[in-house]
Chains A and B, each alone.
Chain A
Amino acid sequence: MKLIIKKFSALVLILLLLITGSCNRNPDRALVISKLKNSAKLATVEYVVSKVITTRDQNWLAKDAYFFAETEATIKAGIDLDKLQEEDIKIDGTRISILLPPIEIINFSYPAEGFKVIEKYTDQAAIFKWNSINVATKDDLYRQGEADIRESIDDLGIVKTAQKNTRLLLTTILRLSGFDEIYISFKKSNKLNTQDENLLKELQEFLNRKKS
């Protein structure tokens, strides 16, 4: 009897350890700067992309859970006019040549309104709610979806299209402004950042201040 009690206590201890180990750390509280700021970003192309999010939660002895959703993201690209310097523009009468800042992502939108769960291919329910594809799990799936889309932006050809459209738009504006001979080129950038650079800079400064 004593032995059984001992074993049972050991089991309870192991379970407790498992539970404490699996408890999630409090989510990282946002460092959101609630503020209004000026910008000068010219978006010249908008890509509407879709991604199907599918997943299966397989079980040996219970029914599997399925999730199938069509999602849509809108990505805008263009240039930051604040980065345009005086030395980037050369004017000679009605002839102008401009070296524009590199193309960057101006806005990335992956709205909840664009998530459409296809019910006929979806079976989210398990017996208990903690094992079903619940709200938290779905949010996590959408986050993975967003990460996938962000990672593949570079392969969509958005930079070239944005360059083409920016050229077209600025050529129109420059012609209307009296220039006849227009040359437009772009500065090169190493990596296409999918996040607002200024926001990241502010965030980094905030983190640095917090550290010091």
Chain B
Amino acid sequence: MIFVAIFNFIKKYWFIFLLIIVYIVIAGMNIIPRSLNIFKKKQLLIDETPVVVKEIREIGELITAEFYGEVYADLNEFYENLIETEKDSIYLNPAKYYKKYPGLREYVAQAQDYRAQELFFQKEKENYELYLNDYFQKLEAYRQLEIKIRKDIVAAQSKQERKKLEKRLQDLRDKVLREKENYKSRKEKYNNKEKDFIDLKESFRKERKKRNLVYIGRGWVKAGINLKNLSEKEIFIDDEDSLYIHLLIPEPEIIDADINPWFIYTDKKKIKGFELFIAKTGSMMAKDNFTDAEIAAVKHICKERLKANALEKGILKNAKSSAVTTLENFFHLLGFDKVKINFKTEDMEIVSVDRDAS
């Protein structure tokens, strides 16, 4: 009896049952996205593994300046740099590079053509600019000559002389007209070439958009001085004044530059360090995904860019003045009236920063 009831129920709602079975099959085959798969957790979780201490180092770094910033980089930039810096190696052993960076082969092919056209257009542009300069100079010279001939016509003594001058003026006008026509034709040719190049540029950019990886990175750069292994050569009290201390410290340098997976990770607030902005492979197939080398390369550019930004903002200069202030304050707290801080330069020449205690 119950089997009949179940059978009737299935018979009545067969469509829903069919859908459920189809869903289970495609979910089991891992075809639908994770977010739509009710049999999977929304997020792929890592297994519990221990944190192992590999090494403990004794250090003595005094961080005196910090820079926080946001940068971005993409895979095409990396390819462009790679082609420039490792052109010969890529040429000699392309297979090694293409395996590590699968998008490089296509980039090399497209970029070669584009770069050649770019160089050609640059040359064309330079020539056209030279021509323009020459053309306008000529026009100005003709204008001056025309004014002079007109004056000469007015001042002409005889009819014959006037006619001769009028003929010269007419010849000049013809010459100007010819120059203007030449200019029009040259301009048109240049405009066409410019349009072709812009189209090519657009098409190159469009092609490059098909496979690209873009990251936004947020992190910090820290600079300071190394106080490790200080000896009596680097810290000593003045022979004549026991409240006067001399310090010889190294020049500040970048100590840390980091973009972590998390920029801020607290219970209250979480901000990603590396944020994936675009990951387009131009294919639906998993085999065309980005390789780990490609991902690491883009992240590396972000980090280098962050470092460059910090240096541009003057992190080392700040670190130096801040180091002086920090050490002065510290030694004043220790009871010294006067603190003299010297920096060791690369060739060990001493650069002195002398500030008396206030």
Contacts and interface: CB of A to CB of B under 8 A. Distances in A.
The yes or no verdict on A and B being binding partners is yes
B330 interface: yes
Interface string A106-118: 1111111101010
A48 B55 contact: yes
Given A129-B288, A199-B264, A40 B31 contact: no
A54 interface: yes
Nearest to B233: A176
Nearest to A6: B15
B44 A139 contact: no
Nearest to A141: B46
Interface string B44-71: 1111011111111111111111111110
A136 B281 contact: no
A91 B335 contact: yes
Nearest to A33: B68
Interface string A176-209: 1111000000000000001110011001000100
Contacts of A211: none
Interface string A35-64: 111111111111111111111110111100
A30 B222 contact: no
Contacts of B276: 135-136, 139
Contacts of A130: 33-34, 284
A34 B68 contact: yes
A130 to B, nearest CB: 5
Interface string A144-161: 111111101000100001
Nearest to A202: B68
Interface residues of B, number: 108
A113 to B, nearest CB: 7
A107 to B, nearest CB: 5
B296 A112 contact: yes
Interface in B191-219: 213, 216, 218
Contacts of B62: 40-43, 81
Contacts of B44: 55, 57, 133, 137, 140-141
A178 B242 contact: yes
Contacts of A178: 237, 242
Interface of B: 15-16, 19, 25, 28-36, 40, 43-47, 49-70, 213, 216, 218, 220, 222, 224, 227-228, 230-232, 234-237, 242, 245, 255-256, 258-266, 269-272, 274-276, 279, 281, 283-290, 292, 295-296, 299-300, 303, 309-310, 313-315, 318, 322, 325-326, 329-331, 333-336
Given A112-B299, A147-B265, A199-B220, 13 more contacts: A22-B35, A30-B216, A30-B218, A34-B70, A40-B63, A54-B46, A59-B29, A89-B334, A96-B334, A146-B260, A165-B58, A178-B242, A195-B266
26 contacts: A7-B16, A27-B275, A37-B66, A37-B67, A40-B322, A42-B60, A50-B52, A62-B30, A76-B59, A81-B329, A84-B330, A89-B334, A91-B334, A91-B335, A108-B258, A113-B296, A130-B34, A141-B44, A143-B262, A147-B265, A173-B227, A176-B232, A177-B237, A177-B334, A195-B265, A200-B264
Interface of A: 4, 7, 11, 18-19, 22, 27-28, 30-57, 59-62, 72, 76, 78, 81-82, 84, 86, 89, 91, 96, 106-113, 115, 117, 124-150, 152, 156, 161, 165, 168-169, 172-174, 176-179, 194-196, 199-200, 203, 207
Q: Which 3 A-B pairs have the closest CB atoms?
A: A132-B286, A22-B35, A60-B28
